[in-house]
Homo-oligomer: A and B are copies of this chain.
Amino acid sequence: MTKKYLIAPGPTPVPEEVLLEMAKPVMHHRNAQFSAIFAEAREGLKPVFGTKQDVLILLSSGTAAMEAALINTMSAGDRVLVINAGKFGERFTMIAKAYGLVVDELVYEWGRVARAEDVKAYLDRHPDTKAVAVQGSETSTTVYHPIRELAEVVRGYKDTILIVDGITSVGVHETRMDEWGIDILITGSQKALMLPPGLAFIALSEKAWAMTKKSNLPKFYLDLTVELKNQKQDTTAWTPGVNLIYGLKAVVKMLKEEGYDNVYKRHTVCAEATRKGLQALGMRLLAKDTPANSATGFFVPEGVNATAVEDYLREKVGVTLASGQDDIKGKAIRVSHLGYHSYFDTIIALSAIEMALKVFGCDIKLGAGVAAAEAVIAAAFPAK
């Protein structure tokens, strides 16, 4: 037996009690018993989104929710600005182009975050822009975009909405959708929400809902107007993911019981401990600007094949980390802090990394990464 540790930024581990909750018998979705579960699960998402708006539950991966955000608010030929600072930024562009939207990108070097002043300058040049789309945490480069500042800028333009793909930031970085002025916020089940893949979540501001009335792009399964009408009555337009929703109800209860501030603190401490640990080992981080607390990427030393390190860890000691994507594949590794992850998962990740680097011939002092992480964690839990 090799005990397994999944420390990649999604899918993330699901708590045993949630797995067993989802193993309960399927029930019919059109009756009061299921509606009560569905309503409780939906209600529990609101504090995580920081919104009083309806959070809609879709049966899909997060990508479909990104698509839903655009196709429910935009019309043919509308102008969209995409923040492209990594692989997930690119995806918004691909979706927008698939629907014939006019897309401009603000491209940032991998590891950098968007600058609010660049967005402002663009919107001043192109006041006809209907949407700005950005990730919260850009998981490919492990940075956290300045969502609050971007929202501050975009709310100054009455015909422009801000779409935030919070797939790896909601439930990680505190997000106050209503207060900050985010118009569309998205997340998925298999990240901070500690569930298997299969559910996506989306909430719209009044400004965004108003745009749905004029949107003329074709949609059916992802028609949010139809979903809103149904979900306000505690049901869904199409068959919902019954067992995943049992799990969601359990998860939102766990988050509430832990306390949202404690959830954010846990992610913050694990991320900071990982960064300090990696730096103590002499590793260079992917993030050149504000790092995300969802995951931390780092470059392996020159001459080491990152993919070989990952394969070694997964096969030999049961630790699954994530690859660098696209140009940095084979050069970088990403460590998750998402969801059902605590301080000792961070210790495991660093321990695994330092052992593997040693095995692969790097000049590493065993224990140095763990020690630096322990210092961060211990400081977060003073004796009194």
Contact = CB atoms under 8 A, between A and B. Distances in A.
Interface of A: 4, 6, 8, 10-14, 19-20, 22-31, 59-64, 67, 94-95, 98-100, 188, 190, 196-198, 217-223, 238-244, 314, 320, 322-323
Contact of A12 (B26, B31, B218): B26
Contacts of A8: 28
Contacts of A6: 25-28
Contact of A26 (B196, B221, B240, B242): B196
A57 to B, nearest CB: 12
Nearest to A197: B239
A60 B241 CA distance: 9
16 contacts: A6-B25, A11-B26, A11-B28, A11-B242, A14-B26, A28-B322, A59-B59, A59-B197, A60-B221, A63-B220, A63-B238, A98-B223, A99-B218, A196-B242, A196-B243, A197-B241
Contacts of A241: 196-198
Nearest to A59: B61
A60 B59 CA distance: 5
Contacts of A23: 19-20, 22-23
Nearest to A320: B28
B220 A94 contact: yes
Contacts of A26: 6, 11-14, 190, 196
A221 B98 CA distance: 10
Contacts of A61: 59, 221, 238-240
A197 B67 contact: no
A20 B21 CA distance: 11
Q: Which 9 residue pairs across A and B have the least CB separation, nearest first?
A: A196-B243, A19-B23, A64-B221, A23-B23, A63-B238, A61-B238, A61-B239, A197-B239, A99-B218
Contacts of A98: 218-220, 223
Contacts of A198: 59, 198, 241, 243-244
Contacts of A219: 98
Given A218-B100, A220-B94, A239 B62 contact: yes
Given A23-B19, A99-B218, A190-B26, A11 B239 contact: yes
Given A31-B314, A95-B220, A240 B197 contact: yes
Contacts of A14: 25-26, 243
A228 B321 CA distance: 27
B217 A218 contact: yes
A96 B325 CA distance: 38
Contacts of A67: 220-221
Contacts of A60: 59-60, 64, 221
B22 A22 contact: yes
Q: Pick from A20, A26, A100 the residue with the most CB of B within 10 Å.
A: A26
A26 to B, nearest CB: 5
